[in-house]
Each structure stands twice: as structure tokens, then as C-alpha cells.
Amino acid sequence: MKSRTPKVLHTLCGRTLLGHALAAAGELDPSRLVVVVGHGRELVGAEVAAVTPQALVVCQDQQLGTGHAVRMVIEAIGVVPGTVVVTYGDMPLLRGQTLRELVDDHHQAGNAVTVLTARGDFPGFGRIVRGSDGAFLRIVEERDASPQERAIDECNSGCYAFDGTLLADAIKRVTTDNDQQQEYLTDVVDILRGDGHQVGTMLAADAGEITGVNDRVQLAQARRELNDRVLDGWMRDGVTIIDRSSTWIDVTVTIGQDAEIGPQTQLQGATVVGEGAKIGPGCLLENTTVGDDAVVLHAVCRQAEIGPRATVGPYAYLRSGTSLAENAHVGAHVELKKASVGPGAKVPHLTYVGDATIGAGANIGAGTIFANYDGVAKNHTTVGQHAFVGSNTVLVAPVTIGDGAYTAAGSVITDEVPAGNLGVARGRQHNSDGWTARNRPGSRSADAAQRVRSDDAV
């Protein structure tokens, strides 16, 4: 990956590569879940603890092959009776349902091992060699394969279902007699077959599921494939996606029926979109809840709550801790942080609201600033129900505007405005007669003023 970040911690569609692998494995409801880590073990181990705390981490100090990795697990935890499934941390497209089908086929056939295979062009993957009758013979790694074997289009995914007891016995007999001098897990398949045990295969219905990620190009391809899968699922569940090519939705997002997602929209994290809501175009929502029938247009919303039938945007920024009640409105070029906007209240234009409570039905005029920071601490402002804050007002926190109170446009409010009062905090206007002629003689402004004065004199 050419990165400071371990490969399996690169992200797509709301999870790391490892997170997707753990989610798929978790769908089997395993009695034990073990993650083998090597490179970047501290970071990878922390991800495992955060995502699947019940999983056991086993360290592979030397990366000596897939068979060696499995041997490390058995040496660490002992023989695992029952079925052991082996999968990989860099295959984010692998579905839990496919692993379930693999296990079911394995049980029904009574195999010692069942290999998940796929047909297609998978450079670097081992090939499935079969006899003239189509029966499984062996797996040959690409490095060790003949030209004829490399031409085989059925490939080994690297995922298996094993009989745990037989696996523990066979893994001890794996050698490093191969091109890479590593312990191949594929050799366990040959050992079990040589011992007379039954070996089977299951062909993946979707060959793309076994695709691994080894560089940024493959990561981008997997991201697109997984996103398309997510979008298809939501559209089939009654969500309208206007432009799938520019819409990105994490696997952790929830969307209600009849919602509409516009172009150039990203829904990330634990975002929840209610029924009938319209999001986009041009939105980024991260860990945000949107109520039924709300509308969000050209907005960035992070860790915010948007109530039913509320409207946001265009070009609004809702930061963490912001909550809009039902029918509230936040308009163009408005930023809110740790702000609560009551039912039906409006913050229409060019305003910053920080650390504030705005009551039901209140109106905040254009250009208002909630001056919440005094250089040391953040302070709170309260605007009462049906209050009216005039345009270009500065509310210097901590301060309260009472229910039904008004502030005059252009005021700097530092003290409480009681309920029903008008707060005025600005200098009285004074016009200096003839100022332009005296101070800008010969200018265009002076000439224009003189023409008006001459006309008035006539």
C-alpha cells in the first residue's frame, strides 16, 4: 500500500478492510473468533479490540505463510473441535452469506475440508486442478504451476472450512518445500486428501467476492464495487438514488423508505435518514440523524440531529452537538455548534450560532453572531420563544433574550433583554452636513452631491 497505515486498516464504505472481514465472519456467530496479526500488530490489535472485543489476537512474529499463521493459532489455543473457517483480512467484498453457504456445504458433504473457489482472472491465486472426471485433485500455487496449470480459470480463494481436529494434525506436517519456502495452507488440503479424507469445493456465485486488496488501485476498485452493492440494496428497499456514480453510502448507514439521495452526496458512519427525507445534492452527513420528510441541501452535518420536516441549507454547516427540532430552518451560509434550535425557529442567513438555545418560533436575522468565546471559556446564549433578533446583531455570551423580545438591527447585546422588550445597543446616527464637499473636493462623489444640492435649490 506504500503507507504508514497497515494494509488491513485502510478504509472503505465506513469500515476498515479488517472490519469488513470481521463483520462477515461474525455473521457465522462463531464460538471463537481469532485474528492473526503480524505487521503493525499494535494498531491492528487495537482495531480488533475496538470492533470485535471478544476476538482473540494471535501474533505471527515471522510471516512464513498461511499455513504457518494457522499453526500459530493452534499452538496458541490448542485443537479446536468442530468446524474451523479460515478467511482473510484483505477481502472486503466477501459476504457472510457466502461463508455460511461454505459451512453448510461442508457439513452436508461430510468433508474434511471444503475449499471456496471462483472462476475468473485472479493473478497470483492458486489454481484448482481437477481430474478428467472433474473430481478435485489438488491446489497448485501460481509460482509453482506449469503453463498449462496457470491457464486454469478456477482459482482458490484461500478460504476454507476444515474439520478442526484433522486440521490440527495435518498442519504439523506442512513443509516449506516450495518456491517461496513458506508453509502453504494449501498443503493441508493435499495432506488430508492423501490420508484418504474427503475434500470438496464450493464455487462462489459472485467471483468478485474473493478479490483481495494489495494496493490503492485495488482498494478503489473494491470501494466502488462495495458502494454499488450498498446502493443497489437501498434502492431495492425503496430509496431513490439520483446519481449512483457520485453517491457514497457507508455500510453502517440506515435509510428509510421514500428517502431521496441527491448527486454528490456522502452518508457516513452511523447516519440515519428518516422516511421521505431529501438529502442533497452536495451533502456530507457524518453520524447525523435526519428526521422524516426533512430536507438537507448542499450542507455539511457532523454529529448533528435534524428533526422531522426541518430544512437545512444551502451551504450550511451543522457541527457536533447541534439539534434542530421539527420544522426548524437553517439557511444559507449558517454555521451551528452545540446549538439547539426549537420547533419552527429560523436561522435563515449568514449567521454563526455557538453554544446556544433558540426557542420555538424565534427568528435570527441575517449576519447575527453568537459570540460564545471570551478567550478563556465558551459561554451560553438563550433566545426565547418567538423572539426576534435583528440583522447584524452580536449576542455576547452569556446572555439571554427573553420570550417575545426583540433586538434592534446592528446591536451588540451584552445584557439580558427581558421578555417583550426591545434591546437597542448602538450609537445614534449623526449626519455631518456638507462633509463630502469639504473633505473630498473635486471628487466624483463631491460632484454628484453638488448636482443634487443644485437640483434641490432650484
Going by pLDDT thresholds of 50, 70 and 90, the confidence category of residue 420 is very high
Annotated catalytic residues are: 349
CB 331 within 8 A of CB 316: yes
Which pLDDT value is given to residue 344? 98
Q: Give residue-wise pLDDT tens across range 223-262.
A: 999 999 999 999 999 999 999 999 999 999 999 999 999 9
* 396 beta partners: 371
Which pLDDT value is given to residue 248? 98
Q: How many residues does the chain have?
A: 458
Which pLDDT value is given to residue 454? 81
β-strands 266-268, 248-249 pairing:
parallel
Across 203-208, average pLDDT: 96
In whole numbers, what is the pLDDT of the chain averaged over residues?
96
Q: The pTM is what?
A: 0.93
| Percent of the chain residues past pLDDT 70, beyond the cut | 100
3-state class of 47 per DSSP? helix
Which pLDDT value is given to residue 455? 75
Task: Tell me the C-alpha distance between 425 and 236, whole Å.
Answer: 57
Give the count of alpha carbons within 13 A of 437, CB side only.
10
Which pLDDT value is given to residue 458? 61
Q: Which residue has the higher pLDDT, 283 or 62?
A: 283
Cα–Cα distances in angstroms (integers) from residue 276 to residues 75, 129, 141, 196, 292, in the given order: 54, 53, 52, 60, 6
Neighbours of 457 (CB within 10 A): 6
pLDDT at 363 over 70: yes
Residue 75's identity, in one-letter code, is E
